[in-house]
Amino acid sequence: MHDRPAAVTALSQAVAAGRRLARRCTREPRVLDLLTAGSCLALMALDVPGLAAADNSLTGVTAALVLTAGAATLLLRRVAPWVPYLVALVLLGWLHELTLAQFALYSLARYRGRLAGAVGVIGYVSFAYVMFNLPGWPVHRGDTLSEFLSLVVPIGALAAGVGVAANRQDLVRALEAQRAETETLQAVQRERARIARDVHDFVGRELTLLSVRSQVLARRAAGGPHADGFEELSETARSAHRMLNEIIVQRGVDGRPTPGVEALPELVRRSALAGSPVDLHVDAAAHRLSPLRQAAVHRVVQECLTNAAKYAPGEVVTARVTVREGRLRVRVSNPLPSVGPAGEPDGPAAPVSAGTGTAGMGERVRTLGGTFFAGPRDGSYEVEADLPTDEPV
């Protein structure tokens, strides 16, 4: 095999370096704006000799300066696209220059959307039509209206159309980026929830074992010098377990505190708006319960109101939250509907809901050491949760 000539190798390396530089530059908005302004100026520079020869009091130098100033307004096309558009109209009326108008209409449609692009095209065509009917419009630019339309209208419509298409592509890319960011945040939240559950399960289990073991040792050492120490250790383990539960509940799945008893009036208000009035009573002592138990109360009442709205709309829901002798009791009931959707008797009463919501309520209550009942009772569908209050906070 023959070695490649050094000149060919150097040229290939230069081309590759140029491509890398071009890709890097195209990612920078300011660089793109500068390239756009330079391209527009290069195209308008072709008209400098004609502008200097025309009867407009411009020389070659002044015409170049005017066109450069006009092209420089494209540096504002992202933040203020109406500026190059208005300057383009000025150059159109003064120097009959159409090049800047194409870039301005494209920028207007891309960075301000379809409506702005349409308004820009209408204004541009209307202004050019007025100029066409005034004395002084160059004869070679169009002697008839048809020639005018074939020259001016396609320029504006095509430029704005390309700008609208680019605007939609920008929107699609932005939506895709937002969706990717949302999916990432959701994945982070799911992972945090899994970590929280793992911490609760594993650490909570060890704390429970520590508490039980300490109680056993305390009983074995009853009357001895270390009995009080074992009792204190057992109580410390139980307290740490409660604190762990409260932290998990207060964080919630989405990083916000889990709603408690204070959020029940809002549930009642929403239920009433949905057509299911609620008779709510909450003992004052319930507001002093730990967040873990308040979250259980909120969860039970919320699910019951949801079921009542779906399966017994219009019926009055009775909700009672009472605290008596170290027990927290939540009782929610509503009359069972007496007729079916078609106005016919339903027959034997059936549970209003047997879905995952009821199972979730029961699991939460039983996890806290309570009992749970859900089903028809005396012509009503009743949900009753009874659990220990633990220590109030």
For residue 85, pLDDT beyond 70 = yes
Per-residue model confidence as pLDDT tens digits over 255-313:
555 678 999 999 999 888 888 899 999 999 999 887 778 888 988 898 898 888 888 88
For residue 65, pLDDT beyond 60 = yes
Per-residue model confidence as pLDDT tens digits over 158-181:
999 999 999 899 889 888 888 888
Strands laid side by side in the 371-377 sheet: 278-282, 317-324, 327-335, 380-388, 371-377
Q: What distances in angstroms separate CA 168 from CA 145, 163, 177, 240, 347, one per listed residue?
A: 33, 9, 14, 56, 58
Most confident of 117-126, 128-137, 346-355: 117-126
Q: 12 or 390, which is more confident?
A: 12
Give the pLDDT of residue 292: 74
- What value does the mean pLDDT of the chain take? 79
Give the pLDDT of residue 383: 93
Give the pLDDT of residue 110: 92
**pLDDT classification of 382: cutoffs 50, 70, 90:** very high
**pLDDT classification of 76: cutoffs 50, 70, 90:** very high
Per-residue model confidence as pLDDT tens digits over 4-35:
567 677 777 777 777 776 666 666 888 888 88
Whole-number percent of the chain with pLDDT over 70: 76
Give the pLDDT of residue 48: 79
C-alpha to C-alpha distance for 34 and 173, rounded to whole angstroms: 23
Both tokens assigned to 166: 């680019």
Average pLDDT over residues 202-215: 72
C-alpha to C-alpha distance for 71 and 84, rounded to whole angstroms: 8
H/E run at residue 89: helix 82-95
Give the pLDDT of residue 142: 47
Q: 237 or 253, which is more confident?
A: 237
For residue 349, pLDDT beyond 60 = no
Give the pLDDT of residue 197: 63
Going through the chain in order, the beta strands assigned E by DSSP cover 278-282, 317-324, 327-335, 371-377, 380-388
Average pLDDT over residues 39-58: 77
Tell how far CA 175 is from the center of its chain.
10
C-alpha to C-alpha distance for 71 and 78, rounded to whole angstroms: 14
Both tokens assigned to 79: 């933040």
Give the pLDDT of residue 186: 75
Whole-number percent of the chain with pLDDT over 90: 23
DSSP string, 214-255: HHHHHHHTTTSTTHHHHHHHHHHHHHHHHHHHHHHHHH-TTS
Give the pLDDT of residue 238: 74
Average pLDDT over residues 198-217: 70
Per-residue model confidence as pLDDT tens digits over 87-110:
999 988 888 788 899 999 999 999
| pTM for the model | 0.47
